[in-house]
Structure 1
Amino acid sequence: MWSRCSARCCQRTSRGQMGAAAEQFNRCGIRAGGELQFRRLLATKTPTRGKWRGRFRLAFYGAAAGGFLVLGTLAAKNRRHRDRISALEKSWPEEVGKKQKLVVLGSGWGAMSLLRQLDPGLYDIHVVSPRNYFLFTPLLPSVTVGTVEARSIAAPIRKLLQRSHGDLAHYYEAEGVLIDADKKVVRCRDTSGVVGDVSSFDLPFDQLVVAVGSRTSTFNTPGVDKHAHFIKEIPDAQNIRTKIMDNIETAYLPGQTEEEQRRLLHTVVVGGGPTGIEFAAELRDFLLEDLSKLYPSIADKLAISVVQSRGHVLNTYDAEIGKYTESEFEKHRSKINVITGARVVEVGEKTLTIFDKSSKTKTPVPYGLCIWSGGNAPQDLVASFAKDLPQQTNRHGLVTDDFLRVKGAANVFALGDCQTNDTSVLTSQAEKLFKEADVNGDGHLSYEEFSVLMDKAQKMYPHVNVFFATAKEALGDSVFASADKNKDNQLDFGEFQQLLKKVDSELTSLPATAAVANQQGEYLGSLLNKSVLTTGIADGSAPFRYRYMGSFAYVGDNKAVLQVPIFGAMKGWWTMLLWRAFYFSSLSSWRTRLLVGYDWSKAYVLGRDTSRL
């Protein structure tokens, strides 16, 4: 039928012109029933423009309805939370004397996670910290070069407390200097620049949570405290940013010798862990994307070196990730020089000394900026408190049990970098792991069975990587042979268990990461919610178990690496997108998310700010 119709009538597909199209259709000599047939065919043919317009309208209305639903749900939840807090605030003066006083020392990941998890009104909460903001530490290396501004990753403690507990929690800008566990009192002191008539006070407690973090360990290396820079707090990052620009501007002065220019423009990063690697990557991006354009005459003299005592950088990650990072650092004209198997033994004003462990030689290296990102050491408060407790024999931090209770001190808990434990992760699962590895069921592990198990364990437990990196330096590849005491080329259960004890000896503490402190805070908050009416731990409470979810590290040039259980190593530019998405979602508020998103966009479009403020 359509073949007998002219093109004009077939092209009239607008529903508003259907009558005119039908009239033209009849003039084509089609029988009387043709108009009805035409109308039916026309009704089934939706115009292309109208089709997409309808779909777009439907999608828009659906998204709007979904957005209003989500916002309404969040608003209602927030309103219920505020109403609950308001009701508690009205009855609080009468109830405060009946509540247990919970004192929290610190304002880091562990402390803030705990306070978010605690139900409002259960405790009389008092927070003590010399830092009146929560710092999103994973993005601190970005602050050193201006990719992210300092205030974008800081959230005021009082605002966070107000959101979770209203006026039911109190904050004091002071530092805990002494803990008396017997008298249940914390001595606090005002360490700010402004001191009033009262500069110290005693704060009694019923429950105490120590979450004061740690300080950077210098390993008693001469000159580190005086000449090196750390990356722990916002003032550290700001000082590094100022130092970088000072060195560059000084090197650019007329008459400056080439030797002095190269010294000033040489940055040495001591430590190949995530913090040191991310700082080196951020600095290399800064040099390539911004400084090389503003200082073209000295751009070729800018240099970065990373000194790592182990065989490769990021040694707690998969070995493949370490090799990939080193290969990325070798790219571009401003490559990063990675020095492995070496350590810095002295830091002078203009020169540091590197000791090569294989050749046993010392080499002086001129530098303009030294970044020290070594291990962790306990804060003075933690060290003095541990000395008063006979059960505290670990010099890395406060030893706790599986419920995060400090051994030797009743009603005292510890979280985060200031906490350590004696639990054995692998040894406690020795029998299960042995059965899984013993594929043929002969009661012994061959070298092949052992290798398969250890490859799997290295993906699941970061400290296994540390053990094998250390063992290979001491034993080469003979880890299996050293465990095979009777030299029968196989391991029985006893030999296997002794090896796992050696592996677990590397786990002197859980990784000093934000993820660990965050999980500990959530666990302890839930535990204290259950135990508010008891004098100890509530019956049926499960012990704390760290869930390793993976580790990110930015390696520069818009690329990142990711170590995750089961899947192992991931790397590349798309991993960087995951890195940014994860950190963006983990920020403490929408204010910080908006600020960080703006900073990233500003740095990408306009470049980083090189002003020396």
Structure 2
Amino acid sequence: MQHPLKLMRCRKDRERVVILGSGWAGYTIARQLDPKKFQAVVVSPRSYFAFTPLLASTAVGTLEFRTALEPIRGRRTKFEYFQGWADGVDFKNKTVAIEEAVDDPTQSLAPTRERHANKTKHEREVEKVREAKKGTLFNLSYDKLVITVGCYSQTFNTPGVRENAYFLKDVGDARRIRNRLLACFEAAALPTTSDEMRQNLLNFAIVGGGPTGIEFSAELHDIIQEDLARIYPELIPFHHITVYDVADKVLPMFDEKLAKYAMDTFRREGISIRTKHHVEGLRIGPPEHSAEKDLGEHTCYTLKVKEEGEIGVGMVVWSTGLMNNPFVAKSMANVPDLPRASVKLLESGSKIDGSSSVSWTIQKDPKSGSVITDNRLRVKLEARGDAKDKPQAILNDVYALGDCAILDGTVYPATAQVASQKADWLAKRLNRNDIEQTRFEWKNLGVMAYIGNWNALFQGGGGVGNISGRAAWVIWRGAYLTKSVSWRNKILIPTYWFINWIFGRDISRF
């Protein structure tokens, strides 16, 4: 079906590079492309780049939300920006269908499901025609396409999680968590609240023992012990923090000694760790066995755990990993019609004539569904069919990086470090026009995690040793401050650290 979409064409003096996404990969490459050679265009529903390592700190008031944001548009910006969702790609005509997202209320929250999940294919096609006529859907042409759309939060279709859990992937999520945390304490402080409900409201569960879950647990412990204990001393005996994970240990990317150090530190601080536990559901309201049946404004949630049954909680922060982006799953599936110049055949697989009619499909990782790229970050294709030795090719001028892509034959972690290194490498190669002369290789710079009370973990890469405790905390803060993009935030971050250390965190709700 042809849609009457307005086409935003390229300027002829420079190649247009359309970048889908404003995360670690997309924002980095947009800033580093040479504006004299390329007309970079960023398309993203978010008008900012979120510095995700600081989200746990902003969620509890250690830092303000502004410090974790870098606006896409600015006085020194040398690229264009459209606020919208990528809706589809026409590889033959080199265009991307964009749905505007200026008024999208979910743009600052963690995506957990497809935007049009409840619509049939026919309903969505009809809707696209209507949106095109309204001017909210348009085509954007490109010379080179960089796909950095990221991933969605993985919920494993656990009942009630999408609706009731709190996520921590964007600034809107951090704001929701801070408001809910303070609401739990204010509701528990009311004279009409029973002790049983206080125990429920002040019982905080974190699902996922990776760096995000552990760091948030540590930050949550800090605000309760350093600030809320002085403001609500009578409520502290009711509070509890628990980390749930299905694995044998937390922080699986760290070596055994560092992971054990983190678990021992948490136990000393009163944070419970429940490994080999399976969450089966989350619903609003107290547990069925509870004498408290209030379903009013200040009610709690019920977390159902296979090993423990129903547990009353005030908040569940969900951090269990990533799921495939629906754009990658649907819009980047079959590519039945490609111009010959767009496909470069690889020597692996059966030999075919480049003029032969071949139906191609984009290679996907069978486990995660992520796009597979070659070692120059170009999207890989394979011929459709059941043959073992299927012809393979790459799609020229189409690159994929970040969480939505996997480099063929590697097991690089889905981290900001990998995404930013790929973006740095690709920007340099495009600027120098020498992408065929080298290949991408990841340099492990180490991993870090904050574990509370001014203690952290640092596991170095490239032969650097492991560090834990206060020294690792200094490295942790120094690294995040150094990696901050703008000088404004490089000044604001230590300023807020100092102010909150002297005066305490801001616990106002808004």
TM normalised by structure 1 equals 0.66
Q: Which residue of 2 aligns with 1:601?
A: 498
CA distance in 2, matches of 1:121, 1:412: 21
Q: 2:428 aligns with which of 526, 531, 534?
A: 526
Alignment root-mean-square deviation, CA: 1.8
Tell me by how many angstroms 1:283 deviates: 0.3
Q: Which of 64, 87, 105 is the equivalent residue of 1:149?
A: 64
SS at match of 1:543: coil
Shift of 1:115: 2.2
The answer on whether the counterparts of 1:396 and 1:420 sit within 8 Å (CA) in structure 2 is no
Shift of 1:538: 4.2
Name the larger-Rg structure. Answer: 1
**Residue matched to 1:183:** 93
Equivalent in the alignment of 1:285: 222
- Which of 236, 252, 263 is matched with 1:315 structurally? 252
SS of the residue aligned with 2:76? helix
Q: Which amino acid aligns with 1:170?
A: E
1:266 CA drift (Å): 0.6
Q: Name the structure 1 match of 2:364.
A: 393
| Residue identity matched to 2:65 | A
- The residue aligned with 1:115 is 30
Conserved? CA contact 1:306–1:336, under 8 Å: yes
SS at match of 1:330: helix
Distance between the aligned counterparts of 1:353 and 1:155, measured in 2? Answer: 38
Cα distance, 1:373 vs structure 2: 0.3
Q: Quick one: distance in 1 between partners of 2:435 and 2:458?
A: 38
Within 2, Cα distance between the matches of 1:184 and 1:604? 53
**CA distance in 1: counterparts of 2:464 and 2:470, whole angstroms:** 18
Match of residue 376, structure 2, among 394, 403, 406: 403
SS state at 2:268 partner = coil
Deviation at 1:116, TM superposition (A): 3.0
> 1:421 deviation in Å?
2.8
Distance 1:290 1:236 in 2: 22
Q: How do residues 547-566 of structure 1 correspond to structure 2 at under 5 angstroms?
A: 547-565=443-461, 566=463
**Would you say 1:589 and 2:486 are equivalent positions?**
yes
Distance, in Å, in 1 between the alignment partners of 2:329 and 2:493 is 36
CA offsets per residue over residues 364-391 of structure 1, 9 Å max, x none?
2211100000110122211112322524
Fraction of identical pairs, as percent: 36
- Between the aligned partners of 1:315 and 1:546, the Cα distance in structure 2 is 20
2:76 pairs, out of 163, 186, 195, with 163
Kept in 1, the 8 Å contact 2:457–2:469? The answer is yes
Shift of 1:352: 1.4
Task: State the alpha-carbon separation in 1 of the partners of residues 214 and 334 from structure 2.
Answer: 38
Q: Which amino acid aligns with 1:181?
A: F
Aligned match of 1:200:
137
What's the CA shift for 1:289?
Answer: 0.3
Rounded Cα–Cα distance in structure 1 between residues aligned with 2:278 and 2:257: 23
2:281 to 336, 343, 346: 346
User: What is the alpha-carbon distance in structure 1 between the residues aligned to residue 258 and residue 203 of structure 2?
Assistant: 26
2:11 and 2:25 mapped to 1: Cα distance? 25
For 1:328 and 1:518, the matched residues in 2 are separated by: 31
Alpha-carbon deviations, 1:307-346, whole Å to 9, x = none? 01111110111111111111111124xx110001122121
Q: Tell me which amino acid in the other structure corresponds to 2:485.
A: S
Q: Is the 8 A contact 2:458 2:472 kept in 1?
A: yes
The one-letter amino acid of 2:169's match is K
Contact 2:333 2:362 in 1 (8 A): no
Does 1:422 find its partner at 2:408?
yes
Q: Which 5+ residue runs of structure 1 have no aligned equivalent?
A: 1-94, 357-361, 425-506, 532-536
* Aligned counterparts of 2:21 and 2:181: Cα–Cα separation in 1: 31
State the AA in 1 paired with 2:363. Answer: Q
Hey, what does 1:72 align to over in structure 2? none
Which region of structure 1 is more displaced relative to structure 2, 551-560 or 335-344?
Answer: 335-344
**Which of 263, 281, 300 is 2:237 aligned to?**
300
**Distance in 1 between the 2:430 and 2:199 partners?**
56
Q: Is the 8 A contact 1:181 1:410 kept in 2?
A: no
Which structure features the higher share of helix residues?
1
- Structure 1: 4+ residue segments shifted above 3 A: 194-197
**CA distance in 1: counterparts of 2:315 and 2:103, whole angstroms:** 28
> Which amino acid is the alignment partner of residue 342 of structure 1?
H
**Which digits, 9 at most, give the CA deviation of each residue in 1:106-147, with x for residues without a partner?**
111111221233222111221111111111110110011010
Please give the alpha-carbon distance, in whole angstroms, between the structure 1 residues aligned to 2:435 and 2:21: 25
Instruction: Look up the equivalent residue of 2:94 and give its one-letter code.
Output: K
Give 2:469's aligned amino acid.
G
Shift of 1:396: 3.2
Structure 1 SS opposite 2:451: strand
The equivalent position to 2:82 in structure 1, one of 155, 172, 177, is 172
Q: In structure 1, which of residues 396, 400, 413 is the aligned counterpart of residue 399 of structure 2?
A: 413
1:16-27 superposed matches below 5 A = none
Number of aligned residue pairs: 417
Q: Is the 8 A contact 2:30 2:42 kept in 1?
A: no
Aligned to 1:476: none
1:463-490 CA-partner distances (Å, limit 9, x unpaired): xxxxxxxxxxxxxxxxxxxxxxxxxxxx
Q: Does 1:383 align with 2:329?
A: yes
Q: CA offset at residue 593 of structure 1?
A: 0.9
Which structure's residues are more often strand, by fraction?
2
SS in 2 for 1:310: coil
Structure 2 counterpart of 1:270, from 190, 194, 207: 207
What is the correspondence of 1:409-558 to structure 2 with a 5 Å cutoff? 409-424=395-410, 507=411, 510-531=412-433, 538-540=435-437, 542-558=438-454
Tell me how far apart the structure 1 counterparts of residues 262 and 76 of structure 2 sit (CA, whole Å): 41
| Residue of structure 2 in register with 1:611 after alignment | 508
- Do the aligned residues in 2 keep the contact of 1:130 with 1:192 (CA within 8 Å)? yes
Letter in 2 for 1:528: L
8 Å contact 1:386–1:392 — kept in the other structure? no
CA-to-aligned-CA distance 1:489-514 (integer Å, 9 cap, x gap) = xxxxxxxxxxxxxxxxxx3xx21211
- 1:251 equivalent in alignment to 2:224: no
Q: CA deviation at 1:164?
A: 5.8
1:369 lines up with 2:369 in the alignment: no
The DSSP-based 3-state class of the residue aligned with 2:396 is coil
State the alpha-carbon separation in 2 of the partners of residues 226 and 151 from structure 1. Answer: 27
Instruction: Give the whole-Å Cα distance in 1 for the aligned partners of 2:408 and 2:232.
Output: 53
Match in the other structure for 1:475: none
2:19 is the alignment partner of 1:101: no
Tell me the SS of whatever aligns to 2:204: strand
C-alpha distance in 1, partners of 2:207/2:435?
A: 45
Deviation at residue 197 of structure 1 after TM alignment: 5.2
- Report the CA distance shift for 1:527/1:256 in structure 2 as closer, same or farther (over 3 A): same
5+ unaligned residues in a row in structure 2: which ranges? 1-9, 105-130, 285-300, 336-360, 382-394
Q: TM-score, normalised on structure 2?
A: 0.79
Cα distance in 2 for residues equivalent to 1:275 and 1:539: 37
Note closer, same or farther for the CA distance 1:190–1:342 as it changes in structure 2 (3 Å cut): same
In structure 1, distance between residues paired with 2:70 and 2:77: 14
Report deviation, 1:552: 0.7
Q: What is the match of residue 231 of structure 1?
A: 168
**1:39-64 residue CA offsets vs partner (Å, 9 max, x unmatched):** xxxxxxxxxxxxxxxxxxxxxxxxxx
Equivalent residue of 1:282, what SS? Answer: helix
